[in-house]
Amino acid sequence: MGPSAGRYSQGTILMPAASSFRFERLCDDHWQALQSLFLEVFHKRVSVEYLQRKYDTSYTGVKHLTYLAFDGGRPIAFYGALPQTFSFGDKTFLRVHTCDSITLPSYQRRGLHGTLAQKAYALMRNHGVRFVYAFHSDATLRACAPLGWQSHHRMQAHRIPTGIPPLATAFHRTSLLGRLHDRLGRRTLQPQISDPNTFENSAVTRGEMGVRYSAEFFAYKDFTPNAILDFGGCRAWVRSGPGLWVGDLHFDDSESLDQTIIGLRRLARRLGCGHILFQTSPGTALNTELGSRFQGIDSWIVGWLPFDDSLPSGSWQTNFGDLDTF
């Protein structure tokens, strides 16, 4: 399916959390607590700088619309939430991408996930957030159903081999080698970067709802090695990782897409990537064109929880670049 999405470690979510637990809104004093949760539950070492940059969504006008739980002085659970600016026609509004949902194993099935989620939702509503969404597996969407979550659409993955061994995948199996590969990615992509000010979300250009791309948005996304690149007149937003990931792509016709895939393969080989990975919404032009060339597989379920009924849900599409770790 590709990179993990909608990371969850919650147990049953309907039970009320024990009254002895303390809940605190995320703030800049919590990075070390969050570091310890990532290490203990996800077995992943992340830097304070990474967490600060990932959760600093001040470009949207709001940040830290979520909570951690503590048992005494010990951090025991977290409900990750990243505000994003959404566009539809001439209107913009806030939505939140939930991610990094963490509960220590010994505290699961004690209602922490549900309590944190409800506290976060109340905070989001107070700040004008219209809905929340996440990239789910079947299991995590079922776990969130008691909170009112619904399935919106299922994305489709297209994995294109590059003809070389998957060296980048091997590097990213450990934190240290993964960080070294990320540095290689930044050095390789940096000289080719195209102007982000003129790169629009392909969903928005089709008149659908989508994340509002802007110079501020792409500056925020700089906590990962990603860039907007030109490929013979076509423009792609890519990220270097275990493979070469394509977050969004503008192309004119089938021939220009073929030339772009050739350019992407060439770049992926330079990065040691054994594959190129697309994650697209069904019915889009890119999804259709890829499906005529490569075998696709069902990927994440995009789930959502609307806070009001005024949104035209049918016209909403997601890109790979919407993912929290892109």
Count how many domains the chain has.
Answer: 2
The Cα–Cα gap between 21 and 9 comes to 18
Domain boundary among 140, 155, 170: 155
pLDDT at 10 over 60: no
10-19, 58-67, 182-191, 290-299: least confidently modelled range: 10-19
163 vs 207, residue with greater confidence: 163
| Same domain? 165 vs 250 | yes
3-class SS at 223? helix
Specify the pLDDT at position 12: 40
If one counts every other C-beta atom within 10 angstroms of the C-beta of residue 106, the result is 8
CATH number at residue 212: 3.40.630
Closest CA to 48 of 30, 66, 63: 30
SS3 (DSSP) at 57: coil
Query: Is residue 163 located within the same domain as residue 278?
Result: yes
- pLDDT reported for residue 17: 58
Give the per-residue pLDDT at 314.
63
Chain mean pLDDT for the chain? 91
In a domain, residue 50? The reply is yes
Q: Give pLDDT tens digits for 80-139.
A: 999 999 988 888 999 999 999 999 999 999 999 999 999 999 999 999 999 999 999 999
Same domain for 185 and 55, yes or no, is no
Query: What's the CATH code of the domain at 118?
Result: 3.40.630.30
pLDDT tens column, 41-57:
999 899 999 999 999 99
**Mean pLDDT calculated for residue range 274-301:** 95
* CB neighbour list of residue 24: distance below 8 Å, 6 or more residues apart: 30, 67, 68, 70
The verdict on 163 and 150 lying in the same domain is: no
**Residue 249 three-state SS:** strand
Same-domain status, 150 and 216: no
Across 166-179, average pLDDT: 92
Q: Which residues pair with 229 in a beta bridge?
A: 193, 236
Same domain, 56 and 143: yes
Instruction: Give the number of other Cβ atoms within 10 Å of residue 49's Cβ.
Output: 10
Cβ-based neighbour number of residue 262 at 10 Å: 12
136 burial via Cβ count (<10 Å: 0-12, 13-18, 19+): buried
Q: What is the mean pLDDT of residues 205-217?
A: 91
Exposed e or buried b for every residue in 181-205, given b needs 16+ CB within 10 A? bbebbeebbeeeeeebeebbbbbbe
226 against 6, higher pLDDT: 226
- The whole-number pLDDT of residue 13 equals 46
Domain that holds residue 36: 22-155
In this predicted model, which residue has the larger pLDDT, 16 or 152?
152
Q: What is the largest distance, in Å, between two alpha-carbon atoms of the chain? A: 62
pLDDT at 223: 94
Mean pLDDT value of segment 155-164: 97
**Alpha helices, H only, the chain:** 31-37, 48-55, 112-126, 138-144, 167-171, 175-189, 202-205, 215-220, 254-270, 285-291
Is 4's pLDDT higher than 60? no
Quote the pLDDT of residue 55: 98
**Residue 309 forms part of a structural domain:** no
pLDDT in tens, 131-148: 999 999 999 999 899 999
CA angle 184, 187, 191 (to 5 degrees): 150
The reported pLDDT for the residue numbered 11 is 44
Element housing 90 (H / E): none
Local confidence band at 40 (pLDDT 50, 70, 90 cut-offs): very high
Residue 11 belongs to some domain of the structure = no
**Is 0.75 surpassed by the pTM of this model?**
yes
